[in-house]
Amino acid sequence: MSNIALTRIQREFKEVIKSDEVKNCQIKLEPFEDNFTHLKGEIIGPPDTPYQGGKYTLDIVIPETYPFNPPKVKFLTKIWHPNISSQTGAICLDILKDQWAAAMTLRTVLLSLQALMSAAEPDDPQDAVVATQFKQHPEIFRSTASFWAYVYAEAPRNEKMKEYEEKLKQLQEMGFHEKNSRITALSSKNWDLQAAMEFLLP
């Protein structure tokens, strides 16, 4: 790692640790095995969103040319969001691509991701299925997103989840044992049991 990247990451670390967001448990940052090139971030699902109360872990890789090039960030926690791949966790956010600026820090990146969770951009999607649902069935999108938050990100449970759990159970009884695939299938098919079953069949 180049000298400038290393010194900057170390400085950023100090900055993040002292920041108000960390004090308020909004964001968290820690290195993977004392190696500053690979970091683990954590953001809390912002209030008034389906992700509220969820804890989202992020994988951050610092390139050799940091801060002249953006860090490579993806979600490790599964999330249902138009701009984040429900399969890989890849993020579609301009500042992590062509709109990066050298003065941005890991703290601003984490806060930007939190902002992205509150304000999705369905016209510039990473996950087309989620984006379509977001536009055509916003209600289903919201409940699906909060179901994913409950299942994967330790977000609190709500009423709607009982219905979804029921459908998951039915699918399981039909012989589909892989939980993640069942959730993805039902979510993608707007919780239509028949369509999800066809989706899962080879």
Asked if 61 touches other proteins (CB under 8 A), the answer is no
| The two three-digit tokens of residue 157, written as one number | 């449970």
* 102 lies in the site for other proteins, by CB under 8 A: yes
- Contact between 34 and other proteins by CB under 8 A: the answer reads no
**Least separation in angstroms between CB 19 and other proteins:** 14
Is residue 174 near other proteins by the rule CB under 8 A? no
On the 0-12 / 13-18 / 19+ scale of CB atoms within 10 A, 199 is: middle
129 binds other proteins (CB under 8 A): no
Q: Identify the CA nearest to 181 among candidates 157, 199, 162, 167.
A: 199
Contact window for other proteins (CB under 8 A) among 29-37, 63-71, 82-90, 124-132: 63-71
Provide the minimum distance between the beta carbon of 114 and other proteins in the complex, in angstroms, as a whole number: 20
Binding test (CB under 8 A) with other proteins, winner from 17, 25, 35, 69: 69
Determine if 11 is a binding residue for other proteins (CB under 8 A): yes
Residues serving a catalytic function are 92
